Amino acid sequence: MKKNIFNFIATIVLASALSYVLPWWSIMTAALATSLFIPLKKAAVFFVPFLAITFFWASYCFIVSSANDFTLAKRISTLLELGGNPYLLILVTGLVGGLAAGITAVFGKQLALTLNKK
Partner 1 sequence: MVFLGSYNLELMKYAKLLLSFILTIVIFFVLNTKMGTIPPIGKFLNPYNGIWQNEHDESISGEITIPGLKDKVTVHYDEQLIPHVFAQNEHDLYKAQGYLTAKHRLWQLEFQTYASAGRLSEIFGETALNYDRSERRRGMGYGADQAIAYMKKNDTETLRFIQDYADGVNAYINQLSPKDYPVEYKLLDYKPEEWTPKKTALLLMYMTKMLAGYDDDLEYTNVLREIGEKNFNLLFPDFFDITDPVIPKETDWSFIDVPQTDLPASKVVLDTITATIIKPHPDNGSNNWAISGAKSKTGHPILANDPHLGLNLPAIWYIMQLSTPNHNAFGATIPGALGVISGFNQFIAWGETNATRDVIDWYKVEFNEDRTKYKYDGTWKDVTIRVEDIKIKGKENYKDSVLYTHHGPVVYDKNFMSDNGRSGYAMRWIGHEGGNNQKTFIEMNKAKNYDDYVSALKYWNAPAQNFVFASTEGDIALWIQGKFPNKWEGQGKFLMDGSNPENDWQSYIPQAYNAHTKNPERGFVSSANQHPVDENYPYYVFNDGYETYRNRVINDYFNSKEKFGIDDFKALHNNNFNLKASELLPLMISEMDTSELTEDELIIFNEIKNWKFNNDIDEVGPSIWRQWYGKLRNLLWDEFDIEDVAMMKPYTYQTIYFLKHHSSHEYIDIVETKDKVETSQDLYLIAFKEAAERLNEIKSEKGDYKWLKYKATYAGHLLQGLPAFSRFDIPIGGDRNIVNATSENHGPSWRMIVEMTSPPTALGIYPGGQSGNPGSKYYDNFIDDWAEGKYHELNFLQSETTTAAMIGTLTLKPTN
Number of residues that bind partner 1 (CB under 8 A): 40
- Report the helix count and the strand count for the chain, using DSSP H and E: 5, 0
Does the footprint of partner 1 cover residue 104 (CB under 8 A)? yes
Does the footprint of partner 1 cover residue 44 (CB under 8 A)? no
Among 112, 96, 99, residue whose Cα is nearest residue 35: 112
Does the footprint of partner 1 cover residue 88 (CB under 8 A)? no
Is the Cβ–Cβ distance between 18 and 30 less than 8 Å?
Answer: yes
Q: How far is CA 27 from CA 39, 62, 74, 79, in A?
A: 17, 18, 25, 25
**Of 2, 41, 42, 117, the one binding partner 1 by CB under 8 A:** 117
Does the footprint of partner 1 cover residue 54 (CB under 8 A)? no
Residues that bind partner 1 (CB under 8 A): 19, 23-28, 57, 60-61, 64-65, 67-73, 75-76, 78-79, 89, 92-93, 96-97, 99-100, 103-104, 106-107, 109-111, 113-114, 117
